[in-house]
Every structure is written in structure tokens, then in C-alpha cells.
Amino acid sequence: MCRNIRPLSNFDPPATTDEVQAAALQYVRKVSGTTRPSRANQAAFDEAVEAVAHATAHLLEHLTTSAPPRDRDVEAAKARARAAARYGTPA
């Protein structure tokens, strides 16, 4: 999985439209193999981002879980700790 795409489910507050759009953009960039499409492919690229964002939003709206919602700050701290352990940098 692309390291830039973050889990969006089961957070309080829920994922914003901007977060869903950013994840969709990263996904389409990864799949297409380009960060910036040519003019000839721009329309297809934008259409794909919108379709993935729509599908992601639909999925997040319909997921159910019995786990308590996660806190973004706590999850970010865990990610920094993992990075520090992996790369030997201070958290």
C-alpha cells in the first residue's frame, strides 16, 4: 500500500471531504504511475480521482465497527514512534 494513503475509517471526527479527495488523488497517482498527467490525460485522471473519491466516501459511510473511534493525535504519535524506531530518528 502507498505510504501516503492513510486509513480514514473509524475516526472521531470522521474523515473530511478533503482527506477523502487527497487519498483518492494519491491512489490514482500510484496506479497511473505519474504525479502529474499530460494534458491529453488530464480529463481521464481527474475523472478517476472523482470516481475513487466517491467510492471511498460511499465505503466510509457504510462501514460499521464495534471498536471505539480512534483519535487522530494518538494515531499520529504512534506513527512518529514507528518511524523513529524504523529510521532511528527522534520522535
Q: What is the pLDDT of residue 1?
A: 47
pLDDT tens digits, residue range 76-87?
Answer: 899 899 989 999
Q: What is the pLDDT of residue 2?
A: 59
Residue 89 reports pLDDT greater than 80: no
The gap between the terminal CA atoms of the chain, to the nearest Å, is 23
Q: What pTM was estimated for this model as a whole?
A: 0.79
Q: Which residue has the cell 482527506?
A: 19
Q: How far apart are CA 18 and CA 8, in angstroms?
A: 11
Q: Would you tell me how many other CB atoms lie within 10 Å of the CB of residue 9?
A: 15
Q: What is the pLDDT of residue 39?
A: 95
Residues 8 and 56: beta-carbon distance below 8 Å = yes
Average of per-residue pLDDT values in the chain: 90
